[in-house]
């Protein structure tokens, strides 16, 4: 079974159209997931007992179930309760809800990696908890959080392929469409793999170089 | 009333029967002492005797389990008295410096007044420059802690505490994490503070500093004060065997 590069080349515009869906879905989901993840993470750490428990349940529930399940629920089950999402928003919402939980954990471990002495020094100056967060802890957190966030971004690019299950024409889905039309079940997938790599590798590389800078 | 007032100008701090436990482990087992304005107290004792814990209780970084703390005429109680106001008035210098690594030396010093005292930035930074000059770091104002030696970082930390105009300064082994050849520059700053009349409590094993500066030495062991007196009394004629043992080890070191 040979790789038919001519076929890949011929169908490249079609595949790139799918890659655009993949990329824009990743970006939209990531923005919402990051904002929500920051809020959830802060509530989990500093929101007190009730909010802390609620956010913990949410984080563990999401981490303990497949992302695909959430996508299927949002797209197929929620309409029965009168909540109708078109494909793209349904996918974006599900992925954002998932990744917000992961990202909340990223923020939490970044905050926890900052020595207690920093908080104590802030308190010893008479700062409130909120002030010590705002001026001392969070600014230090944001540096440490960039590399793991970039890794989450790369992971999200790959996880968007799950939307093929709700027939969204992302990169993976379109490569399968090409396969179905040409009876070549290999080359289009290789094409898709190469395009995924073009998107993920630079991000992972960037993340690694950031990590070095932080140390 | 007038009598009370004259009384309280002499006294800055009274600690009465202070206890502190971590879970079931009692670390401070009933400590009482007082401190007058401008008095310099050195706290010594073996590792684990509770010196850090005691000092950290004084500004409520560690809330005491029981006992009374009267600071500047005000009884300190969690909730009742404003702990944050207390901390504004008590400066603290840590063994590990705990300078803010994302800020320059100048920003480290100016941040407290800006955020807590709501001072205009320009005023706070002008004073921060003066304080940095005072600790010998005028030329380092725009450097971040990562580019500084331990001695320099600790002097930034001292300037940072001074920027709040504290009535009392706490030092918890300020030179224990600093290269030997840089200890002097930190001690010099502390001696200068003492000469200017700063009230201070210093946990340290620097005998020379204690002899030079301390009005009184308190020796702690296993959560209790076991000996107290002038440096001459405690160092030359220790009454307790445990003090003698400890001092002989420090002298050797
Ligand atoms: N947060 C904590 N939780 C539990 N135990 C603690 C805590 N902080 C201190 N301790 C314990 O309390 C005891 C006294 O500790 P502390 O740090 O006050 O001693 P120290 O006299 O400052 O010692 P060193 O000279 O080593 O600094 C030690 O046994 C220590 O393990
Ligand atoms: Mg200690």
* Whether residue A214 has pLDDT greater than 90: no
Verify whether the Cβ–Cβ distance A125 to B102 is below 8 Å. no
C-alpha–C-alpha distance, residues B183 and B228, integer Å? 26
A101 neighbors A74 (Cβ within 8 angstroms): no
The share of chain B scoring above pLDDT 70, in percent, equals: 94
Q: What is B195-253 written as a DSSP string?
A: HTT--EEEE---HHHHHHH-SEEEEEETTEEEEEE-HHHHHHS--SHHHHHHHHHHHH-
Of all protein residues, whose CA lies closest to atom 28 belonging to ligand 1? B48
Residue B107 has pLDDT above 90, yes or no: yes
For the segment A192-213, the average pLDDT, to the nearest whole number, is 92
Q: What's the rounded Cα separation, in Å, for the pair B165 and B145?
A: 22
* Confidence band for B253, pLDDT divided at 50, 70 and 90: low
Distance (Å, whole) CA B157 – CA B109:
8
pLDDT bin (cut points 50, 70, 90) of residue A5 is confident
From the alpha carbon of B46, which atom of ligand 1 is closest? 25
User: How far B81 CA lies from chain A's nearest CA (Å)?
Assistant: 13
Q: Please, what are the domains in chain A?
A: 5-214 (1.10.3720.10)
pLDDT of B79 higher than 90: no
Cβ–ligand 1 distance for B63 under 6 Å, the answer no
- The token pair at B194 is 């003492």
Q: What is the 3-state secondary structure (H, E, C) of A144-190?
A: HHHHHHHHHHHHHHHHHHHHHHHCCCCHHHHHHHHHHHHCCCCHHHH
Closest Cα in chain B, distance from residue A118 (Å): 6
- What would the two tokens of residue B19 be? 């206890």
Q: What is the pTM of this model?
A: 0.85
Query: Starting at the edge strand that comes first in sequence, how are the strands of the sheet with B11-22 ordered?
Result: B25-36, B11-22, B66-71, B74-76
Reported as a single tens digit per residue, the pLDDT across B178-221 is 999 999 999 999 999 999 999 999 999 999 999 999 999 999 99
Q: What angle do CA A137, A143, A149 make, to 5 degrees?
A: 110
Q: Which of B23, B28, B51, B95 to mutate to test the pocket of ligand 1 (most atoms within 8 A of CB)?
A: B51
pLDDT, one tens digit per residue, over A110-144 is 999 999 999 999 999 999 989 999 999 999 998 88
Complex confidence, ipTM: 0.93
Token pair recorded at residue B143: 């450097």
Instruction: Please check whether residue A143 touches B, CB under 8 A.
Output: yes
Is A121 at the interface with chain B, CB within 8 A? yes
Q: Return all residues near A207 (Cβ < 8 A) that are at least 6 apart.
A: A146, A147, A148, A150, A151, A154
DSSP letter assigned to residue B71:
E
CA of B51 to the centre of ligand 2 (A): 6
Token pair 């950031």: residue = A210
**Three-class SS string for A80-121?**
HHCCCCCHHHHHHHHHHHHHHHHHHHHHHHHHHCCCHHHHHH
Distances (CA, A) of A181 to A19, A133, A178: 19, 56, 5
- Looking at residue B5, what is its pLDDT? 41
Q: What Rg value do the Cα atoms of chain B yield, rounded?
A: 18
């Amino acid at each position: 079974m040979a790789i038919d590069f001519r076929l890949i080349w011929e169908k490249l515009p079609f595949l790139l159209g799918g890659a655009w869906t993949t990329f824009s879905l990743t970006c939209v989901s990531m923005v919402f997931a990051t904002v929500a993840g920051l809020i959830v993470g802060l509530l989990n750490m500093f929101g007190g007992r009730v909010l802390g428990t609620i956010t913990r349940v949410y984080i563990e529930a999401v981490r303990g179930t497949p992302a695909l399940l959430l996508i299927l629920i949002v797209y197929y089950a929620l309409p029965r309760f009168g909540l109708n999402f078109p494909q793209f928003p349904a996918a974006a919402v599900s992925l954002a809800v998932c990744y917000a939980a992961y990202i909340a954990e990223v923020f939490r471990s970044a905050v926890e990696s900052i020595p207690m002495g920093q908080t104590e020094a802030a308190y010893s100056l008479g700062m409130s908890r909120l002030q010590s967060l705002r001026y001392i802890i969070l600014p230090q957190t944001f540096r440490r959080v960039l590399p793991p966030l970039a890794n989450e971004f790369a992971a999200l690019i790959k996880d968007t392929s799950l939307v093929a299950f709700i027939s969204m024409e992302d990169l993976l889905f379109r490569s399968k469409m090409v396969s179905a039309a040409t009876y070549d079940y290999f080359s289009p997938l290789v094409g898709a793999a190469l395009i995924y790599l073009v998107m993920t590798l630079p991000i992972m590389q960037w993340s690694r170089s950031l990590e070095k800078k932080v140390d | 009333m007038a009598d009370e007032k004259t009384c309280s100008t002499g006294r800055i701090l009274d600690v009465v029967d202070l206890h502190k436990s971590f879970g079931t482990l009692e670390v401070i087992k009933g400590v009482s002492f007082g401190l007058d304005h401008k008095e310099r107290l050195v706290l010594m004792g073996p590792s684990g005797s509770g010196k850090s814990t005691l000092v950290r209780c004084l500004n409520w970084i560690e809330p005491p389990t029981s006992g009374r703390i009267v600071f500047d005429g005000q009884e300190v109680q969690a909730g009742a008295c404003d702990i944050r106001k207390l901390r504004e008035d008590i400066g603290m210098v840590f063994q590990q410096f705990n300078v803010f690594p994302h800020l320059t030396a100048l920003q480290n010093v100016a941040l407290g007044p800006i955020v807590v005292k709501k001072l205009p930035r320009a005023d706070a930074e002008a004073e921060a420059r003066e304080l940095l000059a005072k600790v010998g770091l005028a030329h380092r104002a725009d450097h971040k802690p990562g580019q500084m030696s331990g001695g320099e970082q600790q002097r930034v930390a001292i300037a940072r505490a001074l920027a709040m105009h504290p009535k009392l300064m706490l030092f918890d082994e300020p030179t224990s994490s600093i290269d030997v050849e840089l200890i002097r520059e930190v001690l010099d700053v502390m001696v200068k503070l003492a000469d200017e009349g700063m009230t201070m409590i210093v946990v340290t094993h620097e005998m020379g500093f204690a002899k030079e500066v301390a009005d009184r030495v308190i020796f702690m062991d296993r959560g209790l004060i076991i000996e107290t007196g002038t440096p001459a009394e405690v160092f030359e004629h220790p009454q307790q065997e445990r003090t003698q043992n400890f001092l002989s080890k420090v002298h050797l070191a």
